[in-house]
Structure 1
Amino acid sequence: MTGIEFYTNSHIISEVDSMRQKLGTLAKQYRATSAIIVTDTGISNLGYVDIAQQSLEEAGINVVVFDSVIADPPIEIVNDAIKTARDSNCDLVIGLGGGSSIDTAKIVALHPNNFESINDILDQDVSEFDRLPLFAIPTTAGTGAESTFVSVITAQDGSKKAIYTPNILPDVAILDATLTLKLPRHITAATALDAMVHCVEAYTSRTKKNPISDALAVKGLQMLWSNFEQVMNQGDDIEARSNMLLGSTLAGIAFVNSSVAAVHGLSYPLSINFHVPHGHANALVMCGVFSFNLSTAAPLYAELAHAVMPSQTADLTDLDAAGLFIAELRKFLETSGLKYRLSELNITKQDIPVLADIVTNTYARLIATNPKDMSLEEVTNIYKEIL
Structure 2
Amino acid sequence: MTELTFMTPPRIICAPGALARLGDCAASLGGTRAFIVTDPGLTRLGYDARALAALETRGISGAVFDRVEADPPYAVVREAVAAARASGADLVIGLGGGSSMDTAKVVALALNSDQTLDEMVGTEQATGTRLPLICVPTTAGTGSEVTFVSVLTSEEGLKKAIYSSKILPDVALLDAELTLGMPPHVTAAPALDAMVHAVEAYTSRTRKNPISDALAIKALQLLTANFDTVLTDGHNVQARSDMLLGSMMAGMAFVNASVGAVHALSYPLGARFHVPHGHSNALVMGPVFRFNIPAAKTLYAELAAITLPERQFNADEDAANAFVDTLEAMLARSGLQTRMAPLGVTEADIGPMAREVTEKITRLIATNPRDMTYDEVVAMYRSVL
Regarding TM over 0.5, the answer is yes
- Residue 84 of structure 2 aligns with an amino acid whose one-letter code is A
- Residue 377 of structure 1 aligns with an amino acid whose one-letter code is D
Q: 1:325 maps to what in 2?
A: 323
Q: 1:96 maps to what in 2?
A: 95
Q: 1:136 maps to what in 2?
A: 135
Report the 3-state secondary structure (helix = DSSP H, G, I; strand = E; otherwise coil) of the residue aligned with 2:306: helix
In structure 2, distance between residues paired with 1:174 and 1:226: 23
In structure 2, distance between residues paired with 1:363 and 1:29: 40
In structure 2, distance between residues paired with 1:157 and 1:52: 35
- Residue 175 of structure 1 aligns with an amino acid whose one-letter code is L
Report the 3-state secondary structure (helix = DSSP H, G, I; strand = E; otherwise coil) of the residue aligned with 2:311: helix
In structure 1, distance between residues paired with 2:123 and 2:216: 31
8 Å Cα contact 2:115/2:126 also seen in 1? no
In structure 2, distance between residues paired with 1:9 and 1:289: 31
In structure 2, distance between residues paired with 1:43 and 1:190: 17
Q: 1:119 offset after TM fit, Å?
A: 4.0
Change over 3 Å in CA distance of 1:116–1:88 after alignment to 2: farther
8 Å Cα contact 1:145/1:252 also seen in 2? yes
In structure 2, distance between residues paired with 1:199 and 1:114: 33
Output one character per residue of 1:162-212: Cα deviation in whole Å (capped at 9) or x when no partner: 110111011100110011113211111111000000000000000000000
Q: 2:15 maps to what in 1?
A: 15
Q: 1:123 offset after TM fit, Å?
A: 6.0
* Displacement over 4 Å in runs of 4+: 123-128
- Residue 349 of structure 2 aligns with an amino acid whose one-letter code is D
Query: Which blocks of at least 5 consecutive residues in structure 1 are unaligned?
Result: none
The alignment's TM-score, normalised by the length of structure 1, stands at 0.97
- Residue 10 of structure 2 aligns with an amino acid whose one-letter code is S
Change over 3 Å in CA distance of 1:204–1:116 after alignment to 2: closer
Q: Is the counterpart of residue 366 in structure 1 residue 364 in structure 2?
A: yes
Report the 3-state secondary structure (helix = DSSP H, G, I; strand = E; otherwise coil) of the residue aligned with 1:260: coil
In structure 2, distance between residues paired with 1:374 and 1:111: 36
In structure 2, distance between residues paired with 1:360 and 1:180: 36
Q: 1:301 offset after TM fit, Å?
A: 0.3
8 Å Cα contact 1:73/1:104 also seen in 2? yes
- Residue 192 of structure 2 aligns with an amino acid whose one-letter code is L
The alignment's TM-score, normalised by the length of structure 2, stands at 0.97
- Residue 385 of structure 1 aligns with an amino acid whose one-letter code is S
Q: 2:340 maps to what in 1?
A: 342
Change over 3 Å in CA distance of 1:308–1:153 after alignment to 2: same
Output one character per residue of 1:26-58: Cα deviation in whole Å (capped at 9) or x when no partner: 111111110000001111111111110001012
In structure 2, distance between residues paired with 1:16 and 1:386: 38
Output one character per residue of 1:222-257: Cα deviation in whole Å (capped at 9) or x when no partner: 000000000011111110000000000000000000
Residue correspondence of structure 1 range 25-36 to structure 2 within 5 A = 25-36=24-35
Query: Which blocks of at least 5 consecutive residues in structure 2 are unaligned?
Result: none
Q: 1:163 maps to what in 2?
A: 162
Report the 3-state secondary structure (helix = DSSP H, G, I; strand = E; otherwise coil) of the residue aligned with 1:246: helix
In structure 2, distance between residues paired with 1:239 and 1:79: 38
In structure 1, distance between residues paired with 2:120 and 2:300: 38
8 Å Cα contact 1:149/1:167 also seen in 2? yes
Q: 1:269 maps to what in 2?
A: 268
Q: Is the counterpart of residue 305 in structure 1 residue 327 in structure 2?
A: no
Report the 3-state secondary structure (helix = DSSP H, G, I; strand = E; otherwise coil) of the residue aligned with 2:109: coil
In terms of mean alpha carbon deviation, does 162-171 or 201-210 score higher? 162-171
In terms of mean alpha carbon deviation, does 106-115 or 355-364 score higher? 106-115
In structure 2, distance between residues paired with 1:332 and 1:234: 16
Q: 2:350 maps to what in 1?
A: 352
Q: 1:80 offset after TM fit, Å?
A: 1.2
